[in-house]
Amino acid sequence: MQGKNRPAPMGYDQVMSRRGEIMQSSVGIDYNSYRTGILSFDYERMLENTCYTIEKIFEIQRQSAVGNTPLVELKNMTELVRKLSPAGKGARVFVKDEAANPSGSFKDRRACLSIFEAAKRGYPGVAAATSGNYGAAVASQAARRGLSCIIVQEAFDSRGIAQPEILEKARACEAYGAEVLRLSVGPELFYVFLTILEETGYFNASLYTPCAVIGIETLGFEIAEELKEREGKFPDMVVATHAGGGNITGTARGLDKAGAGQSLTIAASVDLSGLHMASDRDFNRKSFTTGHTGFGIPFATWPDRADVPLNAARPLRYMDRYVTVTQGEVFYITQLLAELEGMERGPAGNTSLAAGFALARELDQDQILVVQETEYTGAGKHPTAQLNLAKKMGIKIKRGDPEMNIPGKVIVIPEHPAQIRVKEVDLEKLRESYLNKALSGLSAQQQRLDEKEIAFLAADTGSDPAFVKEFIENAGLAGLAGHSRGESRGGNNGTRG
């Protein structure tokens, strides 16, 4: 036991052994109090215990000039969609222009509530481990609340080659007065972050706390309310870029709270299959630092891989479909948006726009598709910087059919907008992968899973109890749960409870 005035040992293994204690202290949440079984926890109670209603969140965000961003109809893009669609097809395309937020992305919504919570609890400062827009959002909101801020980034590989997009975001963080620690890619990021939290006593402005996720609910709520007021209907489809899961979770919950729970919520990621996100070799062979399958797939299949014990972002609960696009298609749509609509925006939001451009061709002309966010662009975030780095890393850049794209080897930019397509990710396989991870450490001798546990797993995978029981039986774990073979299984049928 450490003496009161004796510093805790700071070796890697020693710090990692204290991760639970450090995390609980840095977010002020007793996550164990929400556990209801071996695997289950009371998800809704964890979110409700923040005591922030949607009305209160709006009030806090207005104080910091966050939210109330324009909902823009992309009329020229809609016209192009219809030229490429079968007769009667081609939905109207709208975009929620989140680049209008103080730091230039929807991440201001989640940072705003987190920093408000930190100030309310009396933390001297805030820290976040992020290489993306969230760092700039945290730094911006910390400046508004008068709190110190430290951002930890994985910024470069072992040769010192840095991602231009990450450098751009570091510049933004420093502009808001934050201290930025840049690390090479590797396992030390979490260790460094833990030591900072322990040494400073700062608030962990994690992307995955309840405050960070419910802060996004206003985005979905605004989309639903504004579209209903302007067009007399809710959106038929909302497309969200998917990485860690907070974006689609918060947006879908906001749609629900506005009464638009029947709107289909589609997750979209850039396909970076074959590249390992923690690989020094692959780090600079990917042109996207977020919104890609390297985060999207792992966080869908096991959300609690996050830097908090229980992740408030649970994407499988809210996905009606999950689609991917290629890097070249996103670069193409970025230029198309600029030339057709006069809007130059950054890569992450344009991931969902590329998917939305293809998906709109499936819908009828009287339907409405909303791309739920844009982000600011800048020198490091522009396609030119990304493509120049790709060439430097020996990646071939060419025009042609995006089907020929090979992540980390070839980036194929379409020659015609009709070549922008989406590929479906099999949600059933994602659900099975989640259940495999959840159940792999259990045995029939340990404890049977009761109906409450089964119900939790069903909700967390966006399926139903029969699906979970069938998986358990097929996996040879029938002793974990009793059920009848005759039960039928249905999905979430495009709706959320």
Class of domain 67-104+213-424: alpha beta
Enter the pTM of the model. Answer: 0.93
Q: Give the span between the Cα atoms of 347 and 390, in whole angstroms.
A: 15
pLDDT tens digits, 443-465: 655 557 889 999 999 999 999 99
Alpha-carbon span 421 to 425, nearest angstrom: 13
Q: What's the angle, vertex CA 229, arms to CA 223 and CA 234, rounded to 5?
A: 50
For residues 176 and 215, the answer to whether their CB atoms sit within 8 Å is no
Q: How confident is the model at residue 277, as a pLDDT? A: 84
Closest CA to 183 of 208, 214, 151: 151
Q: Output the CA torsion 221→222→225→226 (10° steps).
A: -160
pLDDT at 485: 34
Segments of the chain scoring below 50 in pLDDT: 1-5, 483-497
- How far apart, in whole angstroms, are the C-alpha atoms of residue 336 and residue 314? 33
- Do the domains at 12-50+122-212 and 67-104+213-424 have one common CATH topology? yes
CA 289 to chain CA mean position, Å:
12
Q: Summarize pLDDT for 240-261 with one digit per residue, the tens.
A: 999 999 999 999 999 999 999 9
Domain assignments of the chain as residue spans, ordered by start: 12-50+122-212, 67-104+213-424, 432-480
CATH number of 12-50+122-212: 3.40.50.1100
| H or E element, residue 129 | strand 125-129
Residues in the chain: 497
Report the chain's terminal Cα–Cα distance, integer Å. Answer: 47
Residue 1 CA to residue 54 CA, distance in Å, equals 44
pLDDT at 477: 65
Q: Starting at the edge strand that comes first in sequence, how are the strands of the sheet with 71-73 ordered?
A: 71-73, 92-96, 368-371, 237-241, 264-270, 321-325, 423-424
Can you tell me the distance from the alpha carbon of 263 to that of 369, in angstroms, rounded to the nearest whole number?
10
Q: What is the pLDDT of residue 481?
A: 60
Structure tokens, 143: 């400046």
Q: What is the pLDDT of residue 444?
A: 58
